Amino acid sequence: MSGIPKKQKTISLFMLAMMNTAVVVGLEGLPEVGGFGLSLIFCYAVFTLIYFLPVGLVAAELGVGWPGEGGVYRWVKEALGERMAFLAIWCQWLQILVWYPTVLAVCAVSAAYMFDPTFGEKAWFVLLVSLAIFWFATVINFRGIHESGWITSFLLIVGTLLPVIAAIGLAGWWLLDGRESAIPLEASAIIPDISSIGQFVGVLAIFSFLSGLEVNSVHFRNTKNPQRDIPLSLLISGALVLVVSILGALSVAVLVPVDSINLASGTLQVFEKVFDVLGVNWLLPVIAGCALLGMVGHIMIWVIGPTESLRVAAKDGLIPKTFQKMTKGGAPKNVMLLQAVIVSIICLLGMLIDLNSVFYVLTMVSAQIYLVMYALMFVSVIVLRFTKPEIERSFRIPGGKTGLWLVAGTGLLASVLGICFMFVPPDMQDVAINATWFTPVVLGAFAVIVVTPFVLYKRM
């Protein structure tokens, strides 16, 4: 039955904070970031100030000012019009489609560790696990955000927070026991080596692992007390994201040498190494099962967020009206089904590709596309503050207009520079990139993705 349910259940502060955390934190990013070594502390501190914090503050102001349907789509539409709003949600959705194969591959590797780690190298196994997990996440979300929200919160705690806390504890024990660290632990190692543009570009991968806080804005209207719950949930989830990401990545860096880190199974390599020393290898399948649950929860929150914005775009006639159809639980049914079909096709094509060899390229393209959306979001909050000052906002970026320009301006500048620098081949020890084809491939993919929504605008 189509139509929006008459009454939406409220989302508690705890659930919203957990959903915000789940949409950002994932085990798939820890191995790649762990390759930075101790310098990741400095990198995260910088990106928190110039990117993560601005995203959270801007999403909070726009979310309480325009808490209705659509999220980023509605914000950009109010400020810059339908055409740019379509570009924004197109970039948001496409970057997710680029990202899904990599995170599903991590799920498959985690599932393999529950039985036989070598299964993770078999294309048929990766495909079957990937399809099963994605369709499961899609069907569960048909029930609506209230039910899936509690499931996501549970999976985050059991499958992400607990394994990361355990990994941090094992890394701490490893060092306190006098064992050798795989990375230098001198204070001087905190400052990253960015003596070349390629090395600086390598650091930009952190962008993609601090993204997503705005996705849950489509659910802000369902909070019981928006004035309190939205900003507080962003504060709680922001703190959890930084603590889990930094310490989790460091646990990988301390225990696994850079040249041995597997981008799909790096977190499990931590447990594999320590459990072998302790003689408790039987625990590895248990941890792998928890990690799998955590990744499923991470996927579940992404499955519904961007698709809700597409459903609202369908109401405006930007995409076929059939995508307005909702489930009884209030989920955008046809948009989610289309997404599941596309992801299934991508996973089938993935059987012909070694995802580990293109993991970083996918990450960079995904980050670039996402930064386009963020740039539009930062511009929108500035435009709306001046063009629609009468709209009540229970939360505003602190510091008046100066604070607005400082926060949104910093985020906008970081987004534009990030897009430009990501065209340059990275120079990283743990990433093998062919510099000859890297820039043309990334440039071509970026151009096609950005131009497509202008071609499709109101033509479908």
**Segment 70-94, tens digit of pLDDT:** 788 889 999 999 889 989 988 888 8
**Pair 42, 206: CB distance under 8 Å:** no
Confidence of residue 377 (pLDDT cuts 50, 70, 90): very high
Burial of 432 (0-12, 13-18, 19+ CB in 10 A): exposed
Q: CA 18 to CA 372: how far, in whole Å?
A: 26
- Rg, the chain, Cα only: 21
3-state secondary structure at position 29 = helix
3-state secondary structure at position 179 = coil
The fold adopted by the segment(s) 13-456 is Amino acid/polyamine transporter I (1.20.1740)
Q: With a cut of 70, say whether residue 455 has pLDDT above it.
A: yes
Q: CA 169 to CA 152: how far, in whole Å?
A: 24
What one-character DSSP code corresponds to residue 218?
Answer: G
**What is the pLDDT at residue 198?**
61
| Upper half-sphere CA count for residue 382 (Cβ side, 13 Å) | 18
Tokens of 107: 């799920």
**What is the pLDDT at residue 1?**
38
Q: With a cut of 80, say whether residue 236 has pLDDT above it.
A: yes
3-state secondary structure at position 428 = strand
Q: With a cut of 70, say whether residue 356 has pLDDT above it.
A: no
**CA dist list (Å): 262 to 31, 117, 258, 267:** 7, 12, 9, 9
**What is the pLDDT at residue 387?**
95
Confidence of residue 3 (pLDDT cuts 50, 70, 90): very low
**pTM attached to this predicted model:** 0.79
Q: CA 208 to CA 95: how far, in whole Å?
A: 10
Confidence of residue 437 (pLDDT cuts 50, 70, 90): confident
Tokens of 324: 């307005």
**What is the pLDDT at residue 129?**
92
Lowest mean pLDDT: which of 159-168, 200-209, 250-259, 435-444? Answer: 200-209
Q: CA 60 to CA 79: how far, in whole Å?
A: 16
Domain parsing of the chain, residue ranges = 13-456
Q: With a cut of 90, say whether residue 375 has pLDDT above it.
A: yes
**What is the pLDDT at residue 12?**
77
